[in-house]
Each structure stands twice: as C-alpha cells, then as structure tokens.
Amino acid sequence: MDLPSERLRQYPFLAVLSETVLKKVQPHLCEKRFASGELLLRLGDYSDAAYYLAEGTVEVRVPDAAAAAAADARLASPRLPRPVVPVPPRPTLTFQSVMLGPGDIFGEIGALSRYPVTADVVASTDVLVLMIATPGLRLLLKQRELASFRQSIDDRYRARTLASHLRRVELLAGVDDETIARLRDAAELLAFDPGAVIARAGTAVDGLYLVRGGHVRISAGADGRTVSYLRKGDHAGENGLLDNAPWPYSLTAIEHVEIVRLPAGICRDVLAAWPSVATRLRDDARTRDDLVARTSSDAAATRFMEIAVDKGLINGQSVLLIDLQRCTGCDDCVTACADTHGGVPRFVRDGARYGRWAVPTACFQCSDPVCMIGCPTGAITRPLGGIEVTIDPATCIGCGNCVRRCPWGNIVTVTADSPAAGRSIELPTKQMCPHGAMTRVSFHDPAAVAAALGDAGEGRR
C-alpha cells in the first residue's frame, strides 16, 4: 500500500514536489523499520534502492582494501543471514566505521550504477528508513525542485566512491593519488534515459567517457549498424583526445546509463604526464577502430550484435549456445547434468533460435545479477571478483524472489526439501551446464562471437 502524500511530505526533500510528481514517485517509496543489530545492506550484495535515514543511526563498516582483497575467498562462502541478529565484523577483515544519522542517504550508488555494495550497513539503534526504489530515485533526480538533492548525491559519490571507481579503470592503472584526485574533482556526472544519444558520429569529442552504470550501443556507418557496446567500466572517446579527431561512431543508451565524463583538457594533461597511460589509450583506440572497421563491413558480426542488444544477451558474461546442426535432441546433456547435480538439471535445452544456433534456458552469469537483489536469506550469491552466481539449497526458503526478478526467465523451480524452511519448497535452480559441452560466449567481443558462431544466419529458424 502506497504511503499517503501527507506522510511523504514530512520528508524535507519530498515536501517541495508538486502533487503530480509526488503521485508518480509514490509507488516507488516505502518505509521500513530495522531493529538494533539488524543488517540493512551487506558487503557484496546488489541493491535496487536508496535508503534515506529518518530515525536512528547506522554503522557503515567499510573493509580496508588490503584486508578485503585477502578475504575474497572467504567472501565466496555463504554469507551472514538476514534475521535480526547482531552482526560482528568478519574475522578476516579489518573495518573502518562511519556513523550515519537522520537525514543521511546511503545505497544510492549501487541503486543507480549496479555496483555491488562496498560495505556492511548495520543498525546501531532501532531505525526507520525511507526506501527509494531505483525508478523512483531516477525520477526524483530529474526534478528541477530537487537540484540540491541531485547535487548532494553527486557530491557524495564524488567524495566517497569516485576515486575507487577510477582506480578500477585499467587505463589508469599506476597513476598516483594526486592524479586520481584531480580527475575526481574535474569529472562531470551524466545520466541518460534509454534511447538517448550520448555522442554522435562526426561531432567533436569533449572528453573521455567512462560508463559507471548501464549498457551503451556503439553504432557506425550510414545505416547506423550496431558494431559493439560498452558496459560498466568501459570507456570511449580515445580518438578525440589523441588526435583531435571527431567521434568515429555514435553512442546511444540502451537502458538507463550513468556516465563519468573526464574533460578533454585534464585528460590531455594526464596523457602528457603519464606516457604509459597515453600508450594504453592509443592501443585501446587502435583496437576500437579495428573493431568498428571490421564489424561495420561484416554482416554476420553486426547481426550478432543486433541480436545481443535486442534480446539482452549483452548482459551475460557467459551465454550458453547450442549448435542446432549438431544437436540431435537426445537430451543426453540434460540427463548428464541432472546426474551430476542430484537429479536436478541445471539448464533447459529449449530456447530462442537464431539461425543454426539456439539460446537455451541457461544462466547468462549477468554482469548485473538482479536475481540477487532482495534475497531474504542470502542464498543466492556471487563471489566478489567472480562471475558465477550460485543458489545455496541449504539456506533457500523458496520465496521465488529470484525467479520473478530474472528478466530472461532463466531460473526455474523444482520441488525439494528445505532445511532452512523446514518443509518442502519450490527450490529455484539457476540453469548452467558445467561440462563445457556446448559453446559459451561473451558478446562483448563481436569479432570473437562471429568467429565462434560462424554462419548463424544459415540453417533453421
């Protein structure tokens, strides 16, 4: 049930909104109470909401970088449960603690950019939070009346997280802290709705564009063929910085996209001061130019990219494909998979077909695994730094949240006994063939996809 307008207007940043806007955002807002000691957000989780702290205080436990890296293997194991229990620091990690109080916001970076949560957030007292689901957060950030609200969120991202995100960009590996700080302070934070043009071929390049959330279509040629795409952590704009060349391709937001734009002037200063960065950037530009030239003239490669973008395959880091010219339909692969996993097969052979290839019902290992969001027991997990998403049958209670959240319908259920629920449940099984008998590809490299799949345009449809 939606919170009434009178209640929502007790929050200062909502009080200034018109009744029309408030009605639009209302379905995306809810209040939730947490008891002292309860875990609100967990290190490594994915979240689709920001938290506005209305009452009480929370402790944000940020692991030291060195300790977190040393403990990656431990974090791959089943994590702390959701029930209301005191949450001690993990023994293998050392933490820095930050206390937040009424009026503070947290979780917004993960909600907008789909980065995993970088800290445990634990209630220090009984707390009340206003949870703002991602669609509502995006709507609020567009309102002119909330320019200061948007600025405060951008300022927090710049102060808390942007430097570490810049550190993750391979291009900037090795640069010193002073340079990272200069880039952080100069960066412009941009947001684009689905279908919006981010950069147009032939126009001047005004900086280096880093994708911090969402997927971006790269298109080239007179007919605007899709030749590749960008995802979280990728960058574009190399040509303009190196040779003052215009954009050789267009960039379009496939979904909601968050961009960090590093202005051209400071980027050229960094290139002059750090020859290693200039070399890497030139290598990236050469690779991107070759890719655009090759795929622009390769009908098969562009066809694969159009399929990948339109059908969501670009979200997958490991997409399972079946060659229909070789498949006899015997289902031996399904049987073998079931035999390996206690009688439960982890993929369904049927699926969408493209030429001689079929995409079975099998986990894509998505770069942004929305199935993990909101799991009440932490049964569905991904190791930090890994790609494999797993479901723990021992802690799953069969709520169906992950099944409903998977955009591609790749999680199905089987009847099984649940130790956690103490009864028989419909246990979700994340479909994944572990034997490597079929082709798995990442659509991030269109040339490699074309080489792996060959003449996908031929054969059955």
Position 76 scores a pLDDT of 35
Please name each of the domains of the chain with its CATH number: 28-145 (2.60.120.10), 163-297 (2.60.120.10), 309-453 (no CATH)
- CA angle (57 as vertex; 28, 213 as ends), nearest 5: 45
Q: What is the DSSP string of 344-393?
A: --S-EEEEEEETTEEEEE----BSS-GGGTT-TT--EE--TT----EE-T
Collapse the DSSP code of 155 into the 3-class scheme (helix H, G, I; strand E, B; otherwise coil) and give the result.
helix
**Residue 316 gets which letter from DSSP?**
B
Position 204 scores a pLDDT of 94
Position 70 scores a pLDDT of 39
Residue 264 CB partners (closer than 8 Å, separation 6+): 205, 206, 207, 208, 240, 241
Q: Is the pTM of this model over 0.85?
A: no
One digit per residue, the tens of pLDDT, for the chain of length 461 reads 689 999 999 999 999 999 999 999 999 999 999 999 999 998 888 888 999 999 999 999 987 754 444 333 333 333 333 333 344 444 455 778 889 999 999 999 888 887 788 889 999 999 999 999 999 999 999 999 999 999 988 988 888 888 888 888 888 888 999 999 999 999 999 999 999 999 999 999 999 999 988 889 888 877 788 888 888 888 999 989 998 899 999 999 988 999 999 999 999 999 999 999 999 999 988 888 887 777 677 676 677 777 777 767 777 666 777 777 777 677 666 665 665 556 655 566 666 676 677 777 666 666 666 677 667 766 777 655 555 677 777 778 888 888 777 766 667 677 777 777 777 877 776 554 444 446 667 766 666 666 666 554 443 33
Could you list the beta-strand ranges (E) of 194-283. Answer: 197-199, 207-213, 216-220, 225-230, 235-236, 250-253, 257-263
- Nearest CA to 113 out of 317, 316, 368, 407 is that of 368
Alpha-carbon gap, residue 356 to 376, rounded angstroms: 41
Alpha-carbon gap, residue 216 to 218, rounded angstroms: 7
Position 292 scores a pLDDT of 77
Position 384 scores a pLDDT of 53
Position 303 scores a pLDDT of 73
Position 367 scores a pLDDT of 62
Position 146 scores a pLDDT of 92
Alpha-carbon gap, residue 444 to 164, rounded angstroms: 24
Position 268 scores a pLDDT of 93
Position 90 scores a pLDDT of 46
Position 262 scores a pLDDT of 95
